[in-house]
Amino acid sequence: MDTFLHDIVHWGALIFSGFVAGAMNAVAGGGTLVTFPTLILAGLSSIHANATSTVALLPASLASAAGYRSHVPAVARWLRIFAPVSLMGGLLGGILLVRTPERVFDWLVPFLLLFATVLFMSQAAISRFSGIRIVEAHGAPPSRLRLAGGVLFQLCVAVYGGYFGAGIGILMLASLSLQGFDDVHQMNTLKVMLGFLINVVAAGYFVINGLVEWPSALIMMLGAVMGGYAGAHLAQRVPQQGVRGVITAIGILISAVMFYRQFM
């Protein structure tokens, strides 16, 4: 009976965290801040938890990409530019994770979580800073130097995304603003599509290397899909500022717990 209750609590925690993460990603982002620590608390090593979290959130990411398909023709040229470096960077990040010693990644985890939380918390400031647009998306194309800088930045984002992943959407939106985009739907389309490419190639590499704990991934996947569906409706009714405040508080709390667990 004790084992049965333990299993119920275990699977319940996974599906609930998946649901919360899916809803968070649909409303404001930051779902990895919930799924990753939950998997660690469920007994997975940090690298296996990271890989399993990436795979578990992939269907929700695909659903988001499908939701923006009508805007793809308007950004097709940019997808052709950024898709190859996103795939390459995502793969490089996945390879880097697999080759990172477990103890090194354990040491990095609190800092990665804190970085993702600060990045999420600073989204408004980053948006204001990157809102200085020198060219318009429908006007003259950016200079070669600016475009090369954007491609290099996207490669770095993709490597980070394949390695850990939390916060890549914010970084991509900032980069696209600097490229001259002023249409939020086009920016979100590129962000979602490129984010999916980064995650899918990293997830594939994790699967090949046997890093995914499939029972946990599948149950969390179910919760994430339901949460993403609910979050899409919730996003239209809940004040974004309040949601962001709650997510930031969760991130800070989890970061503090991880710092304590690792260093104290």
pLDDT > 70? residue 224? yes
Is residue 182 within 8 Å of residue 136, measured between CB atoms? yes
Burial of 130 (0-12, 13-18, 19+ CB in 10 A): middle
Q: Confidence class of residue 132 from pLDDT cuts 50, 70 and 90?
A: very low
Residues 177 and 133 sit within 8 Å (Cβ to Cβ): yes
Average pLDDT over residues 173-183: 73
Name the percent of the chain lying above pLDDT 90: 30
pLDDT at 130 over 60: no
- Class of residue 201 by CB neighbours under 10 A (exposed 0-12, middle 13-18, buried 19+): buried
Gap between the Cα atoms of 251 and 248, Å rounded: 5
pLDDT in tens, 50-107: 999 999 999 888 877 777 788 888 888 899 999 999 999 999 999 999 999 988 988 9
From CA 194, how far away is CA 90, in angstroms rounded? Answer: 10
> Contact, 25 vs 12, CB < 8 A?
no
- Give the residue carrying structure tokens 């204001």: 128
Give the three-class secondary structure for 133: coil
